[in-house]
Amino acid sequence: MTNAAVFSDIADRYDRLNRILSLGRDQAWRRMVVDRLPPGRLLDLGAGTGAANPIFEDRSVVALDPAPEMLVRNDAPLRVVAAGEALPFRNETFDAVFSAYVFRNLDSVPDTVAEIARVLRPGGRAGIVDLGRPARPLLARLHRAGTAVVLPLAGATVGARDEYTYLHRSLDKHPEPAELFAGTVLRLVDTWRMGPMGFVWGAVLEPR
């Protein structure tokens, strides 16, 4: 199952289950990142069904996602079906790029970061929020044991057990943000932890 196929298959249930699994905090975690981004034209990379749209305020938003089944449910006025690794935009098109709960599912983080840097205008910033394991090894082990049980069971309640088993495994895909973005064309200017045991991370980056 490809990453895009995972989300295409659960498009009509994805946001509802995310709210349940985050104890209703998923939007607050998005807002903490968006509040650190400049105004102007914004690319929502991996926009999905448009859960973040209400917090973009008066920004001009382009919603991009590789899964048309997700994007068709998005009410953003400008929607583009494409992948982060090959953004179909000219250089220096956006003042900000936002991405929520997407980076674990990319085929290539370096390629996507390079594309983000390319489409950012001078002075622009990228803001990313995603899920991972807690930073402390003991908490990470406890968290891994918990999600191995909770995520497949939660997925089964909406007929998506395989998809949420995939999500459990994806939490181990990437290292800490400082390591993940080291050596890329974007400079990490801020990173922080959120959520129970700090399993959610936020990051703000800008061109070097």
pLDDT of residue 1: 31
Residue ranges of the domains in the chain? Answer: 3-133+171-207
Please provide the CATH number assigned to the domain covering 3-133+171-207. 3.40.50.150
**For residue 195, with 0-12 CB atoms within 10 Å meaning exposed, 13-18 middle and 19 or more buried, which class applies?**
middle
pLDDT of residue 3: 52
* Among 80, 4, 90, 18, CA closest to 52: 18
pLDDT of residue 2: 42
pLDDT of residue 166: 67
pLDDT of residue 34: 98
* Among 139, 111, 116, CA closest to 128: 116
pLDDT averages per 10-residue partition of the chain, 208 residues: 50 62 81 97 96 95 94 95 97 98 90 98 96 83 80 73 72 85 95 90 95
Residue 127's alpha-carbon distances to 36, 123, 158, 206, in angstroms, are 7, 13, 30, 9
pLDDT of residue 78: 97
Residue 99's alpha-carbon distances to 115, 129, 204, in angstroms, are 13, 6, 11
pLDDT of residue 162: 73
Which residues sit opposite 99 in a β-bridge? Answer: 128
